[in-house]
Structure formats: structure tokens, C-alpha cells
A and B are shown apart, each in its own frame.
Chain A
Amino acid sequence: MSHPTDDELVDLALGEPVDASRSAHVEECAVCSASVEQLRRTLRLASGPLAYAGWQAPDDAVWARVTAQIDAEPDAPVDAGPPPATMAGPDAGPDAGPAPTPPETPLPRDERPSGTDAADRPDRPDRPANPTGPAATAGTAYPPEPVPADATVTPITAGAARATRRRAAAWGAALVAASLVVGLLAGRAIWSPNESGSVSQVALKTLDTRQREGEASVVRAGDGLDLNVVTDRPLDAGDGYLEVWLINADGKRMVSVGVLRPGETGTFPISQALIDQGYVVVDISKEQFDDKPAHSGDSLLRGQLPA
């Protein structure tokens, strides 16, 4: 017999009348009875008077401690300006730098949120933030997209909240819909040594399974640079079209570099300035003909160019 539906399990948990054969099944079935027990526990925890005095916000200084600690760590995103060549690429963790670290290195143990090792407590506020951190370099930014001046320092202010909402609107509901389906593990960079020193390339991978399905390379072309994008097989654009983007490693900004025809190699002129400013994540998205110039959020392939 098939398992009861969620609704039937809820009714059992609530003590509502349920068909006898269904409840008989639940008694026999470990999965279903565990499910009912889970629902009963939920009910218990949600029920009854809560001896509860109200939410208590932490002191305002705590947020500053959070940002200071993040900025002081190598993982800190660099908001603007060319990152020093010796620094790990922003955002992609310790494996983004030019060092020959295997690209698929998982997060170090103490960077996982679930670490139970007592040694990975954060620094207390008395540890100074890195003075060359993002705040110090933010002034050199000249982003190609309008970004609110306050956006790079993420203060908890009404202004930032508004900016956040504007940005959220720009990314749009499509982003959510798409990303619920597609996980967001971006393809990691591979470093490919080359003779001329002028070429970098990266495998483009699916966001969910990190399947390699294409490649992007930056090549010298006259005075400038070309971004070449090729996929192993034609991507499905559905009713829409494929657009190639360079996303800034700070995760906040992006520029569209052009439209990719399925099955073809795309060549797009870009500039060294873009790369220097951190626009190093190559992203192919599926876009609809909807008159919305922003990224749909429906990313098919992605890869971060090596630093």
C-alpha cells in the first residue's frame, strides 16, 4: 500500500479522524510513524503558552564586530579596486588565488558554520580590522553600474535597507524561482599555465551539480581583451536567449557582455579594467524577452576566472 499523504499524516498527528487502513499502515511503517512523531513534536513546540518576554536585539556594536571580523579574514570580499596579486581572490575562499590549490577543496573545518571545535570562536572586538580591507579601498571604485555609495559598506541603516530592496527588485522574483531549482555552487577556477601570460581560462560548470559544460577564456586582442565563451553542447535557451555576464567577485555588481547563440562560440570584447575591478565571474544566464535588462537569475553555467 502506498504511504498516506502529508495531509493524512497531519490529521493523524492532530488526532483527526483518518481512514482505518491508513492509520494501520502508519503503525507498521517506520517512515510514516517517524513523520507523524515529527509533526506531533512540532505541534507540542508550537503549542501552549510561551513564557516569553519578547525579542531582544543585540547591541548595535555587534554588527560592527561581525563586519570587522569578516574584513579581517582572507575570505573577505574586496569591494572595489584591483586586488593585489598576492591576495586570494575575493569571495571564492582560499582556493581562488594563483597558488596551485586543488580547486575543489572544501571549506576548511573552521569555516563551516557547524563546527563544534571550541577553538574556532571568533576574535573579540579588540582585534583590529585589516586596515587595507574593503573600507580602505572602497573609494577607488568606479563601478559601471550605478551602485549606491553606501552599498559597499553594508551598514544597518534605512538607506542600506532601501538599497537592498532596490537590488532585490532588480534581481527579481525570477531569480528566486530559478535558484530554488538550481543550487548555487559556482564553478571554480582552474589555472591554466600558458606561454604568453596573456590568457586565463576557466571551466564553466552547472551551478547545482558542478558539471563541466563549457569554457571561458580571456585572450589578448589588439589593445584590449576578448572573452571567448564556448559550451560543450548547445545550451537550451527555451523561449528566451542566452546572455553572458561578468559578475563582480563581490557578488553585488555585474555587467552584461553580450548574447550567446546556442551552440556557437561567443567572442565579446571586454577590458582589463573590468577584470582589475573584480568582474571575474563568467556567467551564462537564460533570459526572457521581457524588456528587463537585469539578470534573470536563471544562471546555467558559471566559472570564476583565476586571479
Chain B
Amino acid sequence: MHVHDDPDVESAELAVRLVGGDREALAEMYRRWSPLVHTIALRALGTREDAEDVVQQVFVAAWRGRATLRPDRGSPAAWLVGITKHRVADVRTQRYRAHRNLQALASEVVTEPTTTHDSDWAERLLLVHELERMGDPRATVLRMAFIEDRTHDDIARMLQMPLGTVKSHVRRGLLELRDRLKEVERVASD
């Protein structure tokens, strides 16, 4: 375990600076979150070329639409993921159209695009990212509770932590993750 600087404060600070038009904030956000955006896009689209296009689009859109970022909604990561979902959907639509045009030329039946469509990938990867980013001991408690599916008693014993503290970390942590997903939804459904 190691102690982090408070990542929430840093992230909120970045958000504020981006909204204020600070290009360096965009650069810092790119440094932190382009792997998250790229991995989601790669998962969803399958090719590096398309995934990197999406990364480009997401960060350009983030810059142009920076006024829609809400620093009070926590880390900009969720906001970026919401934008990413939009862009991934755009690429899929374009692929579908291209596919349909080819199909039409060949007078064949139009079918759904072939890419596997797991719409939850973006959210899952965001939560993985959030758990990685979250400071200990909360991150460890949440990993043990959610991913290893251990009971709160187990966790309290293994981490030598009062049961009430474990429960409190689980509650706060789950609420925090829920808020991240709500932010994705807010942006993606806009």
C-alpha cells in the first residue's frame, strides 16, 4: 500500500483549469486518461487506427466542449468516458453505413455491424481505472469486497480493521463509483 496525493483534488483542479481554457490542463488530462480512452475504443472497435481516431476526436471534443465539464462532478475521467461512448457510437454508425452501402451495391441483405456490442465495456474499464486510482485502504477494501467477493468480516480480519470502518469504505466507495457512472450517463445521453 502506498499513500497517494489526493487524486480527487488534483482531478477537480484539472477540470477547473480546463474549463478556464488552460491548454496545459488538456495535455495533463491526455497524459492521464488517453490510455483509458484508447483502451475503451480499442475494445469497442477492434482496430488501432479507429481507436486512435477516437482518442483524437475525444480530446478535441473535450477542448471545444470544455464548458460542459462540471468540475463538481468529480474526476473528468467519467466525462471523457461519456464523450468516448459517443464517438465510438459514431464510428460504429459510419461502419454500418459503409457496410450497408457495400451490401447495397452487391444487392445483398443488410445486416447489423459485426463488432461485438458490449455497451458496458466503457463503464467497466472506467471502474477498473477508478479502483486503481482510488487511494488505499479504500481501494483494497473495495477490491476484496467486489472483485474477490469476500465478506466484510473477512476483510476486517485480514486488514485488521474495525468492521465499521470496512463497511464505511464499502458504502462510500460504492456511492463514489455510482456517481462516476451517473456522470458517464449524463454526458453520453446528452
Q: Interface residues, chain A, CB within 8 Å of chain B?
A: 6-7, 10-11, 13-14, 38-39, 41-43, 45-50, 52, 55-59, 62-63, 65-66, 69-70, 73, 75, 77, 79, 91, 107, 111-118, 121-122, 124, 151, 154-156, 160-161, 163-164, 167-168, 171, 173, 175-176, 179-181, 183-185, 249-252, 297
Category for how many chain B residues contact A: 35 or more
B156: interface (CB < 8 Å): no
Can you report 28 A-B residue pairs in the complex whose CB atoms are below 8 A from each other?
A6-B175, A39-B174, A42-B127, A42-B177, A43-B146, A45-B120, A45-B124, A46-B131, A47-B146, A56-B42, A58-B34, A59-B48, A59-B52, A62-B52, A65-B56, A66-B55, A66-B60, A75-B64, A107-B65, A113-B58, A114-B190, A122-B53, A154-B27, A160-B27, A179-B12, A184-B16, A185-B67, A252-B22
Which residue of chain A has its CB nearest to the CB of B149? A47
B39: interface (CB < 8 Å): yes
CB contact under 8 A between A122 and B13, given known A50-B124, A185-B67, A251-B23: no
CB distance A114 to B82 under 8 Å?
A: yes
B68: interface (CB < 8 Å): yes
Q: What separation, in Å, do the CA atoms of A156 and B157 have in the docked complex?
A: 44
Partner of A58, one of B55, B60, B68, B127: B55
CB distance A66 to B56 under 8 Å?
A: yes
CB distance A63 to B30 under 8 Å?
A: yes
A116 surroundings in chain B (CB, below 8 A): 86, 89-90, 93
Q: What separation, in Å, do the CA atoms of A280 and B190 have in the docked complex?
A: 32
Partner of A164, one of B25, B35, B182: B25
Chain B, range 46-70, C-beta contacts under 8 Å to A: 48, 51-53, 55-65, 67-68, 70
Q: What separation, in Å, do the CA atoms of A252 and B21 have in the docked complex?
A: 8
CB distance A66 to B30 under 8 Å?
A: yes
Count of CB-CB pairs between chains A and B under 8 Å: 211
Which residue of chain A has its CB nearest to the CB of B37? A58
Q: A38-B181, A62-B38, A160-B24 are in contact. List 18 more A-B contacts (CB 8 A).
A: A39-B178, A43-B174, A56-B38, A56-B42, A62-B52, A66-B30, A75-B64, A114-B65, A116-B90, A122-B53, A122-B57, A167-B22, A168-B17, A171-B13, A176-B12, A250-B23, A251-B17, A252-B23
CB distance A62 to B55 under 8 Å?
A: yes
Q: Interface residues, chain B, CB within 8 Å of chain A?
A: 9-10, 12-14, 16-17, 19-28, 30-31, 34-39, 42, 48, 51-53, 55-65, 67-68, 70-72, 82-83, 86, 89-90, 93-94, 97, 120, 123-125, 127-128, 131, 142, 146-147, 149, 170-171, 174-175, 177-178, 181-182, 187-188, 190
Q: Give the 5 A-B residue pairs with the shortest CB-CB distance, closest first.
A: A251-B21, A113-B65, A113-B61, A55-B35, A154-B27
Q: What separation, in Å, do the CA atoms of A66 and B53 have in the docked complex?
A: 10
Which residue of chain B has its CB nearest to the CB of A110? B64
Q: What separation, in Å, do the CA atoms of A62 and B49 have in the docked complex?
A: 10
A58, A63, A175 interface centre (most CB from chain B within 10 Å): A58
CB distance A114 to B31 under 8 Å?
A: no
B52 surroundings in chain A (CB, below 8 A): 58-59, 62
- Least Cβ–Cβ distance between A93 and chain B, in angstroms: 8
B48 surroundings in chain A (CB, below 8 A): 59
CB distance B24 to A58 under 8 Å?
A: no
CB distance B174 to A176 under 8 Å?
A: no
